Amino acid sequence: MMNPEFTARVLAIVRRIPAGRVATYGDVAALAGKPQAARAVGNIMRDCGRADVPCHRVIAAGGRLGGYGGDEALKRALLLAEGVVIHGSRVQLLGCRIAGVRKVGRKPGRLYNRRKKDPRGQMGKAPRGHRRRE
């Protein structure tokens, strides 16, 4: 069973997506305060049968259209009618993705926990503020 507060936040966010713009399931989850809940947003969109919620404006990661009650052709037609550019089975995210979404990484410390090797196989420089273990 889905959390009713989270569901209400997701539906409110989706209602605010203007015509001609799209958001990914992950974008909506991040705006709703749960950046890890992209799949939950997909489930909410799948079960939402309300006419006042433009579910067709929520797409999968990387611009894929994703599902729309099993009718991907209808989702494509609705997005094209709003002026969204689609190449093949992907939406051109540049220029039509909603603004104000700041993605939060799954493992924020990972970047600093691993040192990259340079092409010669030697260990690279440790990130600023970190000491290298010998």
> Would residue 113 count as lying in a domain?
no
Segments of the chain with pLDDT less than 70: 1, 100-134
The pLDDT score that the predictor gives to residue 39 is 93
The pLDDT score that the predictor gives to residue 112 is 41
Return the structure tokens found at 23: 């958001």
pTM of the model: 0.72
How crowded is residue 48: how many other Cβ atoms within 10 Å of its Cβ? 17
> Would residue 119 count as lying in a domain?
no
Residues whose CB falls within 8 Å of the CB of residue 45, separated by 6 or more in sequence, listed in order:
14, 25, 55, 58
Whether 96 is a known active-site residue: answer no
> Would residue 84 count as lying in a domain?
yes
Instruction: Report the number of distinct structural domains present in the chain.
Output: 1
The pLDDT score that the predictor gives to residue 12 is 94
> Would residue 128 count as lying in a domain?
no
Q: Which of 14, 53, 55, 96 is catalytic?
A: 55
> Would residue 51 count as lying in a domain?
yes
Return the structure tokens found at 131: 């000491």
Find tokens 């729309």 and name the residue.
Answer: 68
> Would residue 70 count as lying in a domain?
yes
HSE (CB half, 13 Å, CA atoms) of 128? 0
Return the CATH number at 55. Answer: 1.10.10.10
Q: Which domain holds residue 31?
A: 4-91
Measured CA angle at 101 (ends 72, 108), to 5 deg? 110
Return the structure tokens found at 129: 């503020």
Beta strand residue intervals within the chain, DSSP E: 23-24, 58-59, 86-87, 90-91
Of the candidates 67, 93, 30, the residue with the CA atom closest to the CA atom of residue 76: 67
**DSSP one-letter code for 63:** G
How crowded is residue 57: how many other Cβ atoms within 10 Å of its Cβ? 25
